[in-house]
Amino acid sequence: MDRPIGVMDSGVGGLTVVREVIRQLPNESIIYLGDLNRCPYGDRPMEQVRRYTIEVADVLVARGIKMLIVACNTATAAALDILRERYTIPVVGVIGPGARSAIQSSNNQNVIVLATNGTVDSGAYPEAIRRINRKFNVESTACPKLVPLVEELRYKDKVVVRVVLHQTLKHLHSSKADTIILGCTHYPLLADEIFDYFSGRKKVIDSGHETARETSSILTALKAHTPSQSEPTYTMIVNGKTERFEYILKDWMPFLDYEIEQITLEEETQ
């Protein structure tokens, strides 16, 4: 089925999922929409996040996508079930795949979730993990300072990153958890620093890998993979200014040949 996969996020973080989808599914075309003007979602009321998520998803569905990936943990927690009821195409979130990966990786059934306020407050990760294995202990920590590090292009300043990570994670040094879930798709841009902060003693789970695997499995089941002879295209839609988006895109995926489009979505939707 030669139609693109749609990927949405509140900003640039979902590009970490896009990179993994491209690696695992190189024949597939992708349309990405980053809602930069209203990023981050993590500190907004969940009802507002729900409205924004539906609006962004509607834009992508109108472009004729064959599948939607909600590459934002807060949006997944707020609206995944609603989106699945709203559309006839498959809709995949990032929380379920990340939870399953952590269960497979942990040796002592103790997991830390680093996420936005919204995702932590939703309890989505503990619920997803304990639905599979109720013996797991899940410790969630809100990290509101991490998304701005990425969105404001400070994630390459190692000194600033170390200071912010210490302020955010120092209380977790005594945790016996052996696995950390990066519960926000912005955080993989800081994954190496988070791994180093814990001196390599904790596995760091990026849900992008498992989300791409789940996407592939669904396309296989539906016989909806794009034929190998087709040339994939990549379209990036940005609600907001494109400069910092392209900076991160070119840094994260310098190999990518893409088209970029700027749109305007209202700050509030009715």
> pLDDT tens digits, residue range 25-44?
999 999 999 999 998 898 89
74 annotated as belonging to a binding site for a ligand: yes
63-86 tens-digit pLDDT = 999 999 999 999 999 999 999 999
207 annotated as belonging to a binding site for a ligand: no
Cβ atoms of 96 and 128 closer than 8 Å? yes
In this structure, the strands spanning 179-183 and 67-70 are unpaired
**Cα distance between residue 87 and residue 170, in whole Å:** 43
236 exposure class (CB count in 10 Å sphere: 0-12, 13-18, 19+): buried
133 annotated as belonging to a binding site for a ligand: no
172-215 tens-digit pLDDT = 989 999 999 999 988 999 999 999 999 999 999 988 888 999 99
**Cα distance between residue 52 and residue 59, in whole Å:** 11
Q: Which of 72, 102, 204, 238 is catalytic?
A: 72
Q: Residue 72 catalytic?
A: yes
1 band by pLDDT with thresholds 50, 70 and 90? low
**Cα distance between residue 240 and residue 264, in whole Å:** 7
Q: Which of 184, 190, 205, 236 is catalytic?
A: 184
Please state whether 258 falls in left (phi above 0), alpha (psi between -120 and 50) or beta.
Answer: beta
203-224 tens-digit pLDDT = 999 888 889 999 999 999 999 9
186 annotated as belonging to a binding site for a ligand: yes
Strand 5-9's sheet: what is its strand order?
A: 91-93, 67-70, 5-9, 30-34, 234-239, 259-263
42 annotated as belonging to a binding site for a ligand: yes
Give all domains of the chain, ordered by start, each with its CATH number: 5-93+209-263 (3.40.50.1860), 95-207 (3.40.50.1860)
10 annotated as belonging to a binding site for a ligand: yes
Q: Residue 143 catalytic?
A: no
CA 105 to chain centre: 19
User: How many other CB atoms sit within 10 Å of the CB of residue 196?
Assistant: 14
To the nearest whole number, what is the mean pLDDT of the chain?
A: 94
